[in-house]
Amino acid sequence: MDFEARYDVVVVGGGIAGVAAALQAARSGKKTALLEKTVLLGGLATTGLIFIYLPLCDGNGRQVTFGICEELIRLSIEYGPGDIPDNWRNGENLEEVKRLRCVFSPAAFMLALDEVLEKAGVDIWLDTLVCGVEKDAGNNLTGIVVENKSGRGCVHGRRFIDASGDCEVARRAGASCLADDNFLSIWALQYQENAASLSPGVGMHVGGCTASGQPLAKPELLVRCGLDASSLNISSGISGRKVTDFILNGRKLLREHYRMAYENGAGNRKNLYALKLPAMAQFRKIYCIEGAYVLQTGQNQQRFEDSIGMVGDWRKAGPVWEIPYRTLYPKNGPGGLLAAGRCSAAAGDAWEITRVIPTAAMTGQAAGLAAAMSLDAGVDPAALDVEALRNELRALGFKLHLPEAGLAYS
Ligand SMILES: Cc1cc2nc3c(=O)[nH]c(=O)nc-3n(C[C@H](O)[C@H](O)[C@H](O)COP(=O)(O)OP(=O)(O)OC[C@H]3O[C@@H](n4cnc5c(N)ncnc54)[C@H](O)[C@@H]3O)c2cc1C
């Protein structure tokens, strides 16, 4: 790891948004670094033990999200179980309500993510904590301050993508950010003997084998979700204390779940127990940038002239959102910065749409391409020719407006 290296594009956060951004920037010919504080790629989707790749379709048989988002859904099951409904396998757009989504093993997905990034030539920095930024006198980002086993140093670049999930870069660079609240929940991998699945939509069945290749007799890995609707006041600001409390209280929920299960005879400590806990805080939303535009509640089925792609509503069939390019860069700088995934600008119910895996992949790819194109054009991402960006996205297989997917505006 070389603090003297100069990158074209520096991506902060190796979650799904950061992976997609780094992949696209590297494929666009840019020297790209991906900085990740853990030793695993995939972020919440993998390290956080989320295991459902939400739909790339509208729920009525129309695929609306394309590109790296589709590549990643296939990679999520390359080294593990899980299936994409048959009718979608060949890119067919049948009148079928079974959604284009899949359940994957987080560990299997991580193995595939390493491979695809290495193939693309992305310089991956694992175990590297971002803890500051450097800017020039004109309020343009010039570097990301990190700490890892090599010590403390600065990773210099010309364009930066904040895919940290909570605007680590944008906030440290002084950009205005928006916050939202969470409810307490925990998803964990659980051993449950003889279980077929958990509850509908939440269960995951992962087969396994012994070291000698014999199938395991019965064990299954299942994911358990506990919920507590209480507000955590994250919207008033995040802190080290709140993160710690969130995690400890989540684990308390899990302990209560097992204590109750043992008491009521649903299982015992040998056939029902926690196998793996999430290694990152499972906040749904913390901070996103205050973008040049902030996507709002109810703006589905609405045309945006600067749309860089579409996403469906994972909760119900029908609603489809066009995502404006302006949600990917901050309203008042700093220069050189783009945001992707959970960090892109959205409020209220719209954030429910932008915070999930397909949108993270889609906005990540768009941000990676915008970073590369803004370098070629010698302009800040905020001044990029959006039509040129949209043309490139179309060339990469994106559909940008509802009618292109056979859908109508409201
Ligand atoms: C309980 C729960 C259930 C969910 N269920 C689903 C679901 O079923 N399906 C679905 O599609 N989505 C689901 N989501 C949402 C989804 O998984 C995530 O929001 C999405 O994966 C976010 O991707 P991201 O890349 O934007 O951010 P993240 O996954 O948060 O990635 C950010 C990355 O940045 C790294 N990072 C952060 N700070 C630093 C730093 N200072 N230095 C270096 N690296 C840093 C992190 O380690 C992480 O790897 C769920 C979320 C939660 C909390």
For 169-179, the pLDDT digits (tens) are: 999 999 999 99
Instruction: Please give the distance, rounded to the nearest whole angstrom, from the Cα atom of residue 17 to the centre of ligand 1.
Output: 8
Is 184 touching ligand 1 by the criterion CB < 6 Å?
no
CB 190 within 8 A of CB 52: no
**Cα-to-centroid distance, 38 and ligand 1 (Å):** 12
CB 41 less than 6 A from any atom of ligand 1: no
**CA 152 from centroid of its chain's CA atoms:** 27
The reported pLDDT for the residue numbered 35 is 98
Which of 176-185, 345-354, 356-365, 393-402 is predicted with the least confidence, judged by mean pLDDT? Answer: 176-185
Residues 284-334: tens digit of each pLDDT: 889 999 999 999 999 999 999 999 999 999 999 999 999 999 999 999 999
pLDDT confidence band for 273 (50 / 70 / 90): confident
Phi (first) and psi of residue 225, to 5 degrees: -125, 125
Q: Is 288 in the pocket of ligand 1 (CB under 6 A)?
A: no
312 lines ligand 1 (CB under 6 A): no
15 lines ligand 1 (CB under 6 A): yes
Percent of the chain residues past pLDDT 70, beyond the cut: 88
In ligand 1, the atom with minimum distance to the C-alpha of 131 is 41
CATH class of 9-179+286-405: alpha beta
CB of 168 sitting under 6 A from ligand 1: yes
Instruction: Please check the confidence at residue 120 and state whether its pLDDT lies above 80.
Output: yes
For 40-86, what is each residue's pLDDT tens digit? 999 999 999 888 899 999 988 899 999 999 999 999 999 987 788 87
For the cut 50, the answer to whether the pLDDT of residue 207 exceeds it is no
| pLDDT at residue 239 tops 60 | yes
pTM: 0.93
Would you say the CB of residue 161 lies under 6 angstroms from ligand 1? no
Going by alpha carbons, the residue nearest to atom 15 of ligand 1 is 356
Neighbours of 335 (CB within 10 A): 21
pLDDT over threshold 50, residue 206: no
Top pLDDT among 211 and 368 is at 368
pLDDT for 196 equals 46
For residue 146, give the ligand 1 atom closest to its CA.
42
Domains of the chain by residue range: 9-179+286-405, 183-276
* Residue in the block written with tokens 């954030």: 351
Which is more confident, 251 or 356? 356
Picking from 208, 199, 204, 191, the residue whose alpha carbon sits closest to that of residue 269 is 191
